[in-house]
Structure 1
């Protein structure tokens, strides 16, 4: 009898370990295609259009509107995809108590892009450009039109550096403002992580007291 119980306990232990291993796999989400670093460059297409207009000897300004439409299409596709994903998830998880509305999810992504893809990049690159112009004028590095090319090239080179900080700043702004209003704040996984962190801190404090 004792041997039989021991075997049952081992089977239960193995079953629990397998279930723990399967849970992280289920919780892992597919990477967001529209947040991929290379895809995020589509949000900065107007800046590349401005650069081409600066470097091109012909009148390239008439084609700048097409670069602007690339960014608009990118924002629209990302917003619609997030709304569609929320709709399909709500349809699949019928027992879920709090279901985010697909329209609100799409609106959340659209507002996110207004900050991360339009407002903050435009003002950031404008500030970088103005700083480079003042520096080049002060240092007298080169004369026109080489100075213009120099400023434009360095402004474009700064785009890979500012993409991630701007995205993270926008996430922080959205989490502490709009998402609290929409009801799209901390997800259950995030809450569990915060609770685990609190428990770890409390256990460390108790050990120090002992």
Structure 2
């Protein structure tokens, strides 16, 4: 099978393989702009990211339901799919990156205030640029860390439950 045919035969996951994935980064963008916009817009960015996380979890639950049909343990497997997706996405797409960008921006605004004589508006725009430019660098390390965290904790519980069935 050629490369093109192989790609066409794969099922596209709208939450992972399309532009919809970027909705999960809304809160990082909101945090980067925190110095420039009303706080309500920052909270709105968290609402968008949380809606993305919830939609992805529901989607994975529906896919698990279809995959397991009427087999015994179906409800458990659907629950595991929903919980695992929601927890992973909440940590990797919302909580940890939001906190990270918030702290990077707060630190940069503070340091710029202490080390430069730039006007406040320039310091705020610079902080926003620093926050936005940080996003691509934190994604992979955070994703891997959350994988490790869940593999070392919550997923051990799932695997034990599957062995008992």
What band does the TM-score fall into relative to the shorter chain? 0.7 to 0.9
Q: How far apart are the structure 2 equivalents of 1:114 and 1:158?
A: 19
Structure 1, 97-106 or 157-166: larger mean CA deviation? 97-106
1:49 corresponds to: 30
CA shift in 2, pair 1:158/1:36, >3 Å? farther
- Give yes or no for contact 1:83–1:105 (8 Å, CA) kept in 2: yes
Q: How far apart are 1:86 and its partner, in Å? A: 0.9
Which residue is 2:153 aligned to? Answer: 177
- Residue 89 in structure 1 maps to residue 67 in structure 2: yes
Question: Per the alignment, in what secondary structure is the counterpart of residue 163 of structure 1?
Answer: helix
Q: 92, 100, 109: which one pairs with 1:133? A: 109
Aligned to 2:54: 76
Deviation for aligned residue 1:67:
2.5
CA deviations 1:39-95 (Å, max 9, x no partner) are 443223134335556435xxx444444322211210111001111111111118x5x
3-state secondary structure, aligned to 1:55: coil
Is the CA contact 1:78–1:109 (under 8 Å) kept in the aligned structure 2?
yes
Q: Does 1:114 align with 2:95?
A: no
What SS does the corresponding residue of 2:119 show, helix, strand or coil? coil
Residues 75, 113 of structure 1: 8 Å contact kept:
yes
Q: Which residue of 1 aligns with 2:3?
A: none
2:125 corresponds to 1:149 = yes
Is the alpha carbon distance of 1:184 and 1:172 closer, same or farther for their aligned partners in structure 2, counting shifts above 3 Å? farther
- Give RMSD over aligned pairs: 3.1
- 8 Å CA contact 1:48–1:156 kept in 2: the answer is yes
Cα 1:36–1:103 change in 2 (3 A) is same
Q: What residue ranges of structure 1 are gaps of 5+ in the alignment?
A: 1-24, 186-210
Counterpart residue number, 2:141? 165
Structure 1 residues 51, 122: CA separation in 2 closer, same or farther (over 3 Å shift)?
closer
Contact 2:112 2:123 in 1 (8 A): yes
Q: How many residues align?
A: 153
